[in-house]
Amino acid sequence: MKNIKVGIIGGAGYTAGELIRLLINHPNAELDFVYSTSNAGNKISNIHQDLMGDLDMKFTDTVNANVDVLFLCLGHGNSVKFLSANTFSATTKIIDLGNDFRLEKDKVFTSIGLAQAKTFVYGLPELQRNAIKKANYIANPGCFATAIQLALLPLAEKDLLHNDVHINAVTGATGAGTSLSETSHFPWRDNNFSYYKPFTHQHLGEINQSVKQLQNGFTSEILFMPNRGNFSRGIFATVYTNFEGTLEEAKALFEVFYKDAKFTFVSDEVLHLKQVVNTNKCLIHLHKHNNKLLVTSIIDNLLKGASGQAIQNMNLMFGLEETTGLQLKATYF
């Protein structure tokens, strides 16, 4: 097939940087433009310095309305504003890495001058692969949401979530984006640990939505404690709830659920983050204690939690092998 012409909106952040890195090494993609009003005219490799020698392209403040696929790497709430102000070809597919279209109530986008409403499909391949293949518009899942859903969906599919679900998850500093803040400042973050948004994190909406998609009668609470870790990237999530079966039964249902998954794997060994950093993988480990099942789920927040999953969705939308351009080795040592 001909190369997929790609445009990126909001090109200066961490997720855009990882997206560019993946795309310039993707055998079926051609990077057409990277839009950033604050950096227009500057070399992309001056901002994303890991791309020095790999990419001789500048940021632009204009767009090509006829690209094959558009990635939106904008702050939450800004994708709607951008699409309201800019028109693209009816054949341009859109993958939004923000949270504007993830919830069922927000998935339809309409604006003045838009001939037809855009309906966004929630882009978690392990849950929605067939729908993604047919979609023109994708809402890429959140990073915490990806790790936590992949820990819960095999249980939801078998109608096994009948008690509260308790979650502790730690994310690296890149999860906060490139904007400076007290909690991303090195002297604060180094040798430190803290929680934020206890029980109210914005990803809870999409987590509950997907669980109820598989287990419509789910009425228990998902109690989520997000934490800031003193490392750069990765998410380490521990999820536990009541489970009356054996550990072997739990492993069997997870392995069946993920038997066709290209990037999600169940491990018999206890996990650590270096196994997934710089990859598009999610690794899962199960542990049983009395009547509690503990599920550990680990991902790279910038790849499987953002840009890698966006490329995975692009591959599905354009009929490519799902793993194309995503055969990445973990930075294990």
Q: Which residues are catalytic?
A: 143
Alpha-carbon distances, residue 55 vs 24, 30, 112 (angstroms): 8, 12, 37
Measured CA to CA, the distance from residue 326 to residue 332 in angstroms comes to 17
Measured CA to CA, the distance from residue 185 to residue 214 in angstroms comes to 40
In terms of C-beta density within 10 A (0-12 exposed, 13-18 middle, 19 or more buried), how is residue 207 classed? buried
Say which DSSP state 32 is in. E
Q: Which residue has the tokens 């500048």?
A: 58
Non-local (6+) Cβ contacts of 29 within 8 A are 3, 4, 6, 23, 314, 325
What's the distance, CA 317 to chain centroid? 16
Residue 160 in contact with residue 142, Cβ under 8 Å?
no
Centre a 10 Å sphere on the Cβ of residue 254 and count the other Cβ atoms it contains.
Answer: 22
Measured CA to CA, the distance from residue 28 to residue 303 in angstroms comes to 19
